[in-house]
Chain A
Amino acid sequence: MAEPVITSPHAESKRPFLTEQRRSRITAYTFISPFFILFSIFGLYPIFFTFYLSFFKWDALNPMKFVGFKNYDLVTSDPTFWISFSNTLIMGLMGTVPQVMLALLLAVLLHSGMTKFKKTFRILYFMPNITSIVAVTLVFSTLFGNNGMINWMLNGLGLDSVAFNSGWWGVKIAISTMVMWRWTGYNAIIFLSGLQSIPMDLYESARIDGANRRQQLFSITLPLLKPFIIFVSLQSTIGALQLFTEPYVFLGQAGTGSTRQEGITMVTYLYSEAFRNGFFGTAAATAVMLFLVTILFSILNMLISRGSGGETGGKKA
């Protein structure tokens, strides 16, 4: 692109106005403008419009009709919304908490000097993340089938089969397993980069002071890893609240997606309100609530991470 050229004719004619500093500012603003232009149109404006829309009754065809808080009343009095809400939280917890801990463990194992074939392991662990969620869901739906491999293994261990594609907990276990499979390795890689950024001499001097491995873990590794832990758990939390594709594909065997109660999430609810039922107003209200919940959980996440960090700091002292 030739943005800077645009400024040249001015530069030649009006030298005192277009100083070198001004020119470089104009260039900088030009360079960053694509983001701000596109984001205003397809990001900022839609966000404000969603808030506005949540106070109207609208089917995207006929004129909008102001209804005040009625959409919020409608949504919060719909039992399906609350099921989607609790499903989102339950699957979010099931898919995120064990996953972050597992990723941390994997990263520590991968970081250890003992480990050979580090690069190969890293690639293998990262592989799940490159697959499409649709493909992952299709594969797991065979593994979690009634006569699928997981049930075969459970039977082999002397346990009863689980109805992974229709049971209340079965569906949730299946879906959170898919989430975990896809993201654990990715998060382990992020943690690994955090571990690599900790200077080795910190451990050396701790050892000289007679700290054992556990003390080193709690007073050096975890505190210094905190920014990474916050980043990963924040990202996982936000991702978990937006869960859509896995339940949509896993439960939607008619090719049309599904809002079955065992696996409906807030985004699936939003999607079906808007694009299946044509209730744009209640869908907008759902989107606003999703946003509020996201902010709430992000803050909660920060507070917990900060609190736990303080605790380890306290133990150290």
Chain B
Amino acid sequence: MSTLRMFRKKPDDLGFFGKLGFYFLLILGALVSVFPFYWMFVVGTNDKGAVFHVPPLLTVGDQFFINFKRVLEKADFFQALGNSLFVSSMVTVSVVFFCTLAGYAFAKYEFPFKNALFVFVIATLIVPQQLGVLPTYVIMAKLHWIDSYKALIVPAMVNAFGIFWMRQYISSAVPTELIEAGRIDGGGHFRIFWNIAVPVITPAMATLGILNFMTVWNDFFWPLVVLKNKEHYTIQIALQQLFTTRDGLDYGMIMSATFTATLPLLIVFLLFSRWVIAGLTSGAIKS
């Protein structure tokens, strides 16, 4: 609000054309952000030649189900969607639980080497995933986890970002007096965590959950490395497999699949977007 006053009082006020340019930029940016989603839908609902139409076709057609039928002929689309759903949910439940526990310990407990251990957790964020990918692959082979969901789930069950995120939130949102009161009443450590801390921090847990779900859902590199068998493919691998030149690129088919695969995430995001973005803007990097 005070920015408004700031702008008005200024000698170099934006003026009408300034404002016009200002909104032009904002709206242009928004259009660029959204257009590919719309384009996905346009191509997915039109016939094969739609992509090469001159001038570009911009209207929604009625060929969606015909296109999508070809997807089902070429790939176990719903199987892949189910696989992604299963893996992402398992990882998310586990990440939220373990990261909340660890974040709670770092925020509310005193123990030797606490700071050093926390710095270590943060430091692991800089290490590129690819650095350890070969030995991790070998470990998976030794465990006979190649081509199994365990290879996707177990290494991802807890992560440094989540611990950092939950610690930030818990430090400010959970009053230490409340925990002490619980302890005086003789509650066990886990009971206090579960009954006193968790109810207060569910918004942060939900945000972490959604962010994590999207990350796992969209992961490509590691599933590509460990998954071999078609029935185990996650949706990302299945999508990539549709993109072949073997019989000419059928963009109508590809985009109907891409759109269907994007839709669930898009809906979830639009439902919870305020949470996600508010969470991102409040807890992201204050430390």
Contacts and interface: CB of A to CB of B under 8 A. Distances in A.
Interface in B3-21: 3-7, 9-12, 14, 19
A167 interface: no
Contacts of A270: 130, 133
Nearest to B162: A35
A181 B154 contact: no
A254 B240 CA distance: 10
B116 interface: no
B154 A193 contact: no
A126 B265 contact: no
A190 B284 contact: yes
Contacts of A284: 134
B105 A47 contact: no
A149 B19 CA distance: 30
B230 to A, nearest CB: 12
A34 B284 contact: no
B190 A207 contact: no
Contacts of A294: 126, 128
B281 A192 contact: yes
B30 A242 contact: no
Given A113-B7, A275-B225, A254 B244 contact: yes
Given A43-B127, A106-B29, A139-B258, A231 B285 contact: yes
Contact of B220 (A2, A8, A31, A133): A133
Interface stretch (A21-29, A71-79, A168-176): A21-29
Contacts of B124: 39, 43
Interface string A206-248: 0100001100000000000001100100000010011011001
Contact of B154 (A42, A114, A141): A42
Contacts of A1: 190
Contact of B269 (A119, A127, A275): A127
Given A32-B106, A254-B245, A49 B135 contact: yes
Q: In this complex, which of A24, A25, A31, A148 has the most chain B Cβ atoms within 10 angstroms of its Cβ?
A: A31
A159 B115 CA distance: 58
B19 to A, nearest CB: 7
A303 interface: no
Interface string B124-145: 1011111111111111010000
B78 interface: no
A27 B138 contact: no
Contact of B139 (A41, A53, A185): A41
Interface string B247-281: 00101001100100110011001100110110011
B101 A124 contact: no
How large, as a class, is the contact surface on chain B? 35 or more
B241 A135 contact: no
A254 B242 CA distance: 9
How large, as a class, is the contact surface on chain A? 35 or more
B51 interface: yes
B165 to A, nearest CB: 13
Contact of A189 (B6, B137, B244, B277): B277
Contact of B105 (A27, A133, A213): A27
Contact of A122 (B11, B159, B265, B277): B277
B190 to A, nearest CB: 5
A309 interface: no
A298 B217 CA distance: 28
B134 A283 contact: yes
B243 A255 contact: yes
Nearest to A147: B52
A142 B255 contact: yes
A13 interface: no
Nearest to B235: A132
A212 B244 contact: no
Contact of B112 (A25, A110, A152, A231): A25
Contact of A34 (B54, B112, B141, B158): B158
Given A38-B158, A207-B6, A291-B131, A190 B36 contact: no
Interface string A1-32: 11111001000000000000001110111011
B36 A50 contact: no
Contact of B273 (A32, A39, A126, A238): A126
A296 interface: no
Q: In this complex, which of B111, B130, B236 has the most chain A Cβ atoms within 10 angstroms of its Cβ?
A: B130
A25 B244 CA distance: 56
A131 B265 contact: yes
A245 B220 contact: yes
A60 interface: yes
Given A34-B157, A130-B214, A45 B51 contact: no
A242 B131 CA distance: 10
B239 A132 contact: yes
Given A189-B281, A207-B6, A119 B274 contact: yes
B72 interface: no
B54 A147 contact: yes
Interface in B64-113: 98-99, 101-102, 104-106, 109-112
A142 B51 contact: yes
B225 A113 contact: no
Contacts of B32: 181
A252 B139 CA distance: 28
15 contacts: A4-B189, A34-B102, A45-B132, A50-B135, A122-B277, A131-B266, A132-B236, A135-B239, A136-B36, A139-B255, A189-B280, A189-B281, A190-B280, A193-B280, A291-B127
Of all A-B residue pairs in the complex, the 8 with the closest CB atoms, nearest first, are A46-B132, A113-B3, A113-B4, A193-B281, A46-B135, A28-B109, A31-B105, A255-B244
